Amino acid sequence: MTNSTTLAVAQLGPINSGESRESVVSRLCALLQGAADAGANIVTFPELALTTFFPRTWVEEQEDIDQFFESSMPSPATQPLFDLAQQLNISFYLGYAELTEDGRRFNTSILVNGEGRIVGKYRKIHLPGHSDRKDAPFQHLEKRYFEIGDLGFPVFTDRGRRISMCLCNDRRWPETFRVASLNGAELMLLGYNTPVHNIHWQEPEHLRMFHHRLSLQAAAYQNSLWICAAGKAGEEDGSVLIGGSCIVSPAGEIVAQTTSTGDELIFAIADFDLGEHFRRNIFNFAAHRRPEFYGAITDPRPGRVTDADVE
Amino acid sequence: MTNSTTLAVAQLGPINSGESRESVVSRLCALLQGAADAGANIVTFPELALTTFFPRTWVEEQEDIDQFFESSMPSPATQPLFDLAQQLNISFYLGYAELTEDGRRFNTSILVNGEGRIVGKYRKIHLPGHSDRKDAPFQHLEKRYFEIGDLGFPVFTDRGRRISMCLCNDRRWPETFRVASLNGAELMLLGYNTPVHNIHWQEPEHLRMFHHRLSLQAAAYQNSLWICAAGKAGEEDGSVLIGGSCIVSPAGEIVAQTTSTGDELIFAIADFDLGEHFRRNIFNFAAHRRPEFYGAITDPRPGRVTDADVE
């Protein structure tokens, strides 16, 4: 296989409140080292990989929530991860809560190259959940704590690959992967935090893992993409996360997946010629797509019969 | 379950060249009767359900290909199916090759209601394959024999359900289901003819059935749709078709599937409240979609790096 890149996904077990950034970063560094030892070129870490998944908790005061945000990147606490990437010449994707200089807050991921330099940034567009439901045992307050991302779905080149990024709920929306693919992506990296329980209704629990995989597999197949998906797993501050981190090929098949609910590495030697079969034939966009009939997708006020309700 | 409709899918075994329309229609009538006997309200038949899948064959002369087209619907040969639908008060979806009065040719499906009246028409938009590859053992000449459909993805109401239609390759394109869903669909009916072999490259054969199911299941989940998918199956004029007809719930789960490669009926008592859980929460389009970032999807000349090649 001459056209390959070795991909790693680094799942994280829980990060409970009170665990220091330094402790978390030392876990990330151990995983990065393990990935490099196995010959990996690119490592994907989860969404909000430096703290607990704090959007599950209602916090009244802004200053109490800002402890979960990073006002610089790298920061003193995360610098060792950047230094290690440079030392090992390995690239990584990392999700974190971003506080900008002008006081805006985003659910963000970055792509850091083998020189320890940030070469790409993404800010989450599909924020899930609701804005206020104080009576629930767990909440999903991303719409309260974050602004909608403002960077679109850009594509960055690293290791000779055209790489796009997204975060968690973005993966359920086919538009995410389609736009990235139209922008030239051949590899999608994503982190997520998915609770076992659906807060919205009494959904059968097996559907959570099924929908996670279904969305990734269909997106990989329909867009000729390699996908690396890294989750947090296990019981975090009393809420159980699904785990199930995986690597999906452009054929839509899961080629590697985690088996635990803790810190764990998985790998795939990814053949990037595989995507070309799909990209040139059944999903040859120039030959087969019919954008003239897709207008409803970009209509800002679509005529869907049932909507509203949430928020 | 108070908000239910009983859905049936009628898979067809092969229709070899030389089998008369009358013979095929009698098979369709037997399936329609069986569906009615089991209490079904709506029956889905395959794509090009009156003839062999003729786009696999290169035919030089237009008059030789026109034998596979219907210049009226109902026609004398298909009238018994319409009459039986009226007698049984059952609706059906039927795929056929349409020749219009002004000489245009489409890969078409119709929705016929319980009064035997055509209440909806769809013309296939995503025509797959190539336009000329005479040296191949089997071909896929839909682009040669059909024009691109000109009706969009409309939604029709029958039995109190908002119903959309598509055909075969349409199901691999997430835009199909998204546009239908934005137009208000809660039920998608589709017929298909999918050969076991991918003519484009040496694809592992198990992927054909996997991609069929993956596309349907993701589309159902991501658009809160019930989906009925009816294929032809078995060896038809020397080409083997995959079968695998199925009914998929809005949770993305296959709730009924065929077990044979012949004429076969499957059923589901479909709870249309199930889709509402998804439609109102995780896939609440008004709350969560971000059309302002989807512009590439409707761009008529997207900047995808690798395209062209086919045709």
* Interchain pair B221, A215: CB under 8 A: yes
Mutate one of A293, A299, A311 to test the B interface: name it (highest B CB count within 10 A): A293
Query: Which one is predicted more confidently, A197 or B302?
Result: A197
Q: Residue B47 catalytic?
A: yes
CA dist., res. B306 & res. A156, Å (int): 16
Chain B: give the shortest CA distance to residue A291, in Å.
5
Q: Is B136 on the interface with A (CB under 8 A)?
A: no
- Is the per-residue pLDDT at B43 higher than 60? yes
Question: Which residue is associated with the tokens 């098979």?
Answer: B27
| CB-CB neighbours of B208 under 10 Å | 17
Backbone angles phi, psi at A235, to 5 degrees: -85, 115
SS3 A56: helix
Q: Is B76 on the interface with A (CB under 8 A)?
A: no
User: For the residues of A243-300, what is the DSSP string, one character each?
Assistant: ---EEE-TTS-EEEE--SSSSEEEEEEEETTHHHHHHHTTT-HHHH--GGG-HHHH-S
- Is the per-residue pLDDT at B258 higher than 80? yes
Instruction: Answer whether A31's CB lies under 8 Å from A81's CB.
Output: no
* Interchain pair B286, A280: CB under 8 A: no
Mean pLDDT, residues B32-57: 97
Q: Would you state the structure tokens that stand for residue A242, as one six-digit string?
A: 């699904």
Instruction: Answer whether B252's CB lies under 8 Å from A282's CB.
Output: no
B284-298 pLDDT, tens digit each? 999 999 999 999 999
Q: Is A279 on the interface with B (CB under 8 A)?
A: yes
Per-residue pLDDT band at B307 (split at 50, 70, 90)? very low
Q: Is A106 on the interface with B (CB under 8 A)?
A: no
Residues of A in contact with B295 (CB under 8 A): 179, 298
Predicted local confidence at residue A197, as pLDDT? 85
CA dist., res. A118 & res. A114, Å (int): 10
Predicted local confidence at residue A139, as pLDDT? 82
SS3 A234: strand
Interface A-B: count of C-beta contacts within 8 A: 224
Nearest Cα residue in chain B from A148: B290
| Alpha carbon distances (Å) from A204 to A187, A258, B239, B278 | 32, 22, 41, 13
Which residues of A, range 187-246, sit inside 8 Å of B by Cβ?
198, 200-201, 203-204, 207, 210-211, 214-215, 217-219, 221-222
Instruction: Answer whether A162's CB lies under 8 Å from A207's CB.
Output: no
Chain A: give the shortest CA distance to residue B76, in Å.
34
Backbone angles phi, psi at B184, to 5 degrees: 105, 5
Instruction: Answer whether B247's CB lies under 8 Å from B254's CB.
Output: yes
**Is the pTM higher than 0.90?**
yes
Chain A: give the shortest CA distance to residue B232, in Å.
20
Predicted local confidence at residue B267, as pLDDT? 98
SS3 A181: helix
Tens of each residue's pLDDT in chain A, 311 residues: 689 999 999 999 999 999 999 999 999 999 999 999 999 999 999 999 999 999 999 988 888 999 999 999 999 999 999 999 999 999 999 999 999 999 999 999 999 999 999 999 999 999 998 766 666 777 889 999 999 999 999 999 999 999 999 999 999 999 999 999 999 999 999 999 999 987 777 888 899 999 999 999 999 999 999 999 999 999 999 999 999 999 999 999 999 999 999 999 999 999 999 999 999 999 999 999 999 999 999 998 755 544 333 33
Instruction: Answer whether B258's CB lies under 8 Å from B237's CB.
Output: no
Residues of A in contact with B271 (CB under 8 A): none
What proportions of chain A, in percent to the nearest 5, are helix, strand and coil?
Answer: 30, 25, 45
pLDDT-wise least confident of B10-19, B115-124, B177-186, B190-199: B190-199
CA dist., res. A86 & res. A112, Å (int): 9
- Is the per-residue pLDDT at B133 higher than 80? no
**Of B21, B12, B46, nearest in space to B262 by CA:** B12
Predicted local confidence at residue A1, as pLDDT? 60
- Is the per-residue pLDDT at B309 higher than 50? no
* Interchain pair B293, A125: CB under 8 A: yes
Positions of E strands within A144-205: 155-158, 161-167, 187-192
Backbone angles phi, psi at B206, to 5 degrees: -65, -20
Q: Is B70 on the interface with A (CB under 8 A)?
A: no
Residues of A in contact with B164 (CB under 8 A): none
ipTM: 0.95
Residues of A in contact with B300 (CB under 8 A): 291-292
- Is the per-residue pLDDT at B201 higher than 70? yes
Kindly name the residue from B98, B142, B166, B168 that is annotated as catalytic: B168
Peptide bond into A302 cis (omega under 30): no
From the number of C-beta atoms within 10 Å of its C-beta (0-12, 13-18, 19+), residue B160 rates as: exposed
* Interchain pair B297, A297: CB under 8 A: yes
Q: Is A296 on the interface with B (CB under 8 A)?
A: yes
Q: What is the DSSP letter of A167?
A: E
SS3 A191: strand
CA dist., res. B125 & res. A160, Å (int): 35
Question: Three-state SS across A74-116?
Answer: CCCCCHHHHHHHHHHCCEEEEEEEEECCCCCEEEEEEEECCCC
Backbone angles phi, psi at B158, to 5 degrees: -150, 145
- Is the per-residue pLDDT at B306 higher than 90? no
Predicted local confidence at residue A86, as pLDDT? 98
Residues of A in contact with B305 (CB under 8 A): 162, 184
Predicted local confidence at residue A68, as pLDDT? 97
CA dist., res. B182 & res. B225, Å (int): 11
Predicted local confidence at residue A201, as pLDDT? 77
CA dist., res. A73 & res. A88, Å (int): 19
B146-197 pLDDT, tens digit each? 999 999 999 999 999 999 999 999 999 999 999 999 999 999 999 999 999 8
SS3 A175: helix
CA dist., res. B304 & res. B308, Å (int): 10
Nearest Cα residue in chain A from B223: A173
User: For the residues of B111-180, what is the DSSP string, one character each?
Assistant: EE-TTS-EEEEEE-----S-S--TTSSS---HHHH-PPPSS-S-EEEETTEEEEEEEGGGGG-HHHHHHH
- Checking DSSP bridges between strand A42-44 and strand A4-11, what pairing results, if any? parallel
- Is the per-residue pLDDT at B122 higher than 50? yes
Q: Residue B19 catalytic?
A: no
Amino acid at B39: G
**Of A145, A31, A142, nearest in space to A93 by CA:** A31
Peptide bond into B74 cis (omega under 30): yes
Element (H, E) at A308: none
- Checking DSSP bridges between strand B239-242 and strand B254-257, what pairing results, if any? unpaired
Predicted local confidence at residue B304, as pLDDT? 56
Per-residue pLDDT band at B131 (split at 50, 70, 90)? low
Question: A126-132 contacts: CB < 8 A, separation 24 or more?
Answer: A126/A169, A126/A170, A126/A172, A126/A173, A126/A176, A126/B288, A126/B289, A126/B290, A127/A169, A127/B288, A128/A168, A128/A169, A128/B282, A128/B288, A129/A55, A129/A199, A130/A310, A130/A311, A131/A311
Q: Residue A186 catalytic?
A: no
